[in-house]
Amino acid sequence: GSIFYHGHKIVTDENTGEFKKDEAERLINVQEEISDKTGIPCMLDVVGSTDNALRRFIRFVSEQTDAPFLVDSPSVEARIAGIRYAKEIGLEKKIIYNSLIPESKPEEFEAIKETGLDSAILLAYSGGSLRSADRVKAVKGLLPKAEEAGVTKPIIDTFVLDLLSLSTACKTMIELKKEVGLPCGCGAHNAIATWRIKERLGQQSVLPCKIAVNVTPISLGADFILYGPIEECIHVFPSVMAINTSYKFLNRMKDQLEI
Which pLDDT score, from 0 to 100, does residue 89 have? Answer: 97
Which pLDDT score, from 0 to 100, does residue 72 have? Answer: 98
Residue 171 has pLDDT above 90, yes or no: yes
User: Cα angle vertex 177, ends 83, 157, to 5°?
Assistant: 35
Residue 194 has pLDDT above 90, yes or no: no
User: Which residue has better confidence, 158 or 193?
Assistant: 158
Which pLDDT score, from 0 to 100, does residue 1 have? Answer: 97
* Beta-sheet pairing, 153-157 with 119-123: parallel
Least confident of 143-157, 220-234, 238-252: 238-252
Residues above pLDDT 90, as percent of the chain = 89
What average pLDDT score do residues 96-116 get? 97
Round the average pLDDT of the chain to a whole number and report it: 95
Distance CA 247, CA 29 (A): 28
Question: What are the tens digits of pLDDT across the range 21-40?
Answer: 999 999 999 999 999 999 99
For residue 197, name the pLDDT band (cuts at 50, 70, 90).
Answer: confident
Which pLDDT score, from 0 to 100, does residue 196 have? Answer: 83
Question: DSSP labels for 80-123?
Answer: HHHHHHHHHTT-TTTEEEEEE-TT--HHHHHHHHHHT--EEEEE
Give the CATH class of 2-246.
alpha beta
For residue 237, name the pLDDT band (cuts at 50, 70, 90).
Answer: very high
Alpha-helix runs per DSSP H in the chain: 21-38, 51-64, 76-88, 106-115, 132-148, 163-179, 190-193, 197-201, 206-219, 233-252
Residue 15 has pLDDT above 90, yes or no: yes
What average pLDDT score do residues 193-198 get? 81
Which pLDDT score, from 0 to 100, does residue 127 have? Answer: 82
Residues above pLDDT 70, as percent of the chain = 100
Question: What are the tens digits of pLDDT across the range 28-87?
Answer: 999 999 999 999 999 999 999 999 999 999 999 999 999 999 999 999 999 999 999 999
What's the predicted TM-score (pTM) here?
Answer: 0.94
Enumerate the domain spans of the chain. 2-246
